[in-house]
Structure 1
């Protein structure tokens, strides 16, 4: 297959796959699609529950995949995951704290959980950056990853403490939320995520060549005129925005940011101009498919979507680790 034919096939995949997956997500569920169209209650369910949920699933998957491409590019490691910088853990602590405070009788607004989850992600990012900073420049990215792991461990301990203090009802809520759920989907979240992705579409395309240069190493990238420290800052901040929004809306969903960039690289090569759009499409489609499966397996109940993505992603992660191990042994 020639390079031009491959590009055409990839473009065709990006154009056709999302509508097909979104359509399957909309028509699949505990209620038949003809009932959704033929009754007033059904149309309310369609337009206010199912359609925003499917769209939010796609947008969350797209943001996690975008974050995965960025963080893997800047650390030059295909095994890197957006959660490594600690934002997911911090957001989970914020949401768990909201649930515990609500169970204690405090009158909190319904949007408080999302706000506290976002605040937790920002605080976690601030701690990671503080640990990874020296003067005004960012340390080697390995220190940033270590700081993220440390923050995630601390976040797990804090969630455990909050779970110990929680009531039975609050404990069930924390457990369900930490496993991931798209049940809170609405048009406000769809709009917020669309705006975030739209802003990224304006910001990142002209900077993808600089991200390609980073794949050669920091010294080589600097020799090509790339401001490595600025690029690292930009990647970390955009990853924080994407992951905080995703976790605030849907809980902790793992492996989408790991699997999607890897599949895109297998199909297109290493250039970020080709990897990024395909990874974003694949990430959105994978999460819609996972959510459709979660809603269908034990309908009318549903599985936490984090369980589905973990069951699908863990074998892929193990395969990637084995592949990297073999590659290092042959070097």
Structure 2
């Protein structure tokens, strides 16, 4: 028991250090390189509302606070959202291949965003936030439609039916998106760029937009982490432990979908984060969702910050889409994980 507690504490400490190091690297490196210690001092002083010494170049302060820091924080939110949502989906559906895109929620969010770009919508009241808000709404409509469809098939929301329905919905919405891309003209580059995923040129506004959705989604999942542990062993076992499986499943699906939809809304589609990160954390931390979920937040946030850093520095000054980098890294890593798991059996 003592060794187990020490392992848990060490894992959390490693996660926090990893995230902090990723944030410092993210704000330090770029077209203008800033010393790591200087970046850390600026962040700490800004965090605690302390005066920044005159010895620190004001250009460094402006670059970090106005340009890089909001981008890095948005990457943290997006990566953390996708990672914890992936961990929840994998536990709920008892499927290691499940991720935030399994239920078609991301496809629904992407469809809303593509529709805004394709039709040139701009709602007067919300202005520049038309795209993310429409994207979040279509993601929720997709989840509602999916659950309604599953209810028509069977009263009991079984895992197998949810996965199959998600594949159907995702495939259909993907074809609609492809149709819009085929019909588009001048907006083609903008749509393709958005679909590949990026946190560039988003700023503080997008960070504050996603933050409440992030907190609410995480709250829903963390409140049901014990129920997730029970659901891993199957519906019948969970019911014998007093878990109302239908209600808990809907709450977990809503929380994970809220996180996925808001992440897609502000950054576009970024794959493999919700698939690979929970697997890696599970190897280190174990399958207990009481710790798997929060550690996935730390690991997912740090991973996407480093991925975004690679995307904007590998062939600088040109930026690569984050989705391309995550796929290049994530696909081989997930392949190795799957290979080792199958070899053990």
TM-score, length basis structure 2: 0.87
* Deviating more after overlay: 121-130 vs 77-86: 121-130
Q: How far off its partner does 1:204 sit?
A: 3.8
Residue 171 of structure 2 is matched in structure 1 by: 153
Unaligned runs of 5+ in 1: none
> 1:220 aligned to 228, 237, 246, which one?
237
What is the 5 A alignment of 1:1-331?
Answer: 2-33=3-34, 38-39=57-58, 43-102=61-120, 109-134=127-152, 137-167=155-185, 169-323=186-340, 325-326=342-343, 330=345
CA distance in 2, matches of 1:222, 1:311: 41
Range that drifts further, 204-213 or 66-75: 204-213
Q: Deviations over 1:194-228 (max 9, x none)?
A: 33333345444342121111111111110010111
Cα 1:235–1:297 change in 2 (3 A) is: same
The alpha-carbon distance between structure 1 residues 138 and 296, as it changes in their structure 2 partners (threshold 3 A), is farther
Q: 1:204 to 1:88 in 2, by over 3 A?
A: closer
C-alpha contact (below 8 Å) 2:81/2:260 kept by paired residues: yes
Q: Is the 8 A contact 2:78 2:263 kept in 1?
A: yes
Query: Displacement of 1:317 after TM fit?
Result: 2.5
Q: Does 25-34 or 240-249 show the bigger shift?
A: 25-34
DSSP 3-state at the match of 2:169: helix
| Contact kept? 2:122, 2:130, Cα under 8 Å | no
- Check the 8 A contact 1:21/1:289 in 2, yes or no: yes
CA contact (8 A) 1:74 1:214 kept: yes
In 2 relative to 1, CA 309–47 (structure 1 residues): closer, same or farther, beyond 3 Å? same
How many equivalent pairs are there? 323
Answer whether contact 2:220 2:251 (CA < 8 A) is retained. Answer: no
Q: Structure 1: how far apart are the matches of 2:264 and 2:98?
A: 18
SS at the partner of 1:25?
Answer: helix
Distance, in Å, in 2 between the alignment partners of 1:152 and 1:124 is: 9
Instruction: Tell me the SS of whatever aligns to 2:113.
Output: helix
SS at match of 1:84: coil
Q: Is the Cα–Cα contact under 8 Å of residues 57 and 288 in structure 1 kept in the other structure?
A: yes
> How far did residue 177 of structure 1 move?
0.6
Q: Equivalent residue of 2:187, what SS?
A: helix
Tell me, yes or no, if the aligned pair for 1:79 and 1:321 is still in contact at 8 Å: no
Change in 2 beyond 3 A, CA 1:325/1:22: same
Change (3 A) 1:99 1:237: same
Structure 1 runs of 4+ aligned residues shifted over 6 Å read 34-37
Deviates further, 106-115 or 206-215: 106-115
Gaps of 5+ in 2: 40-55
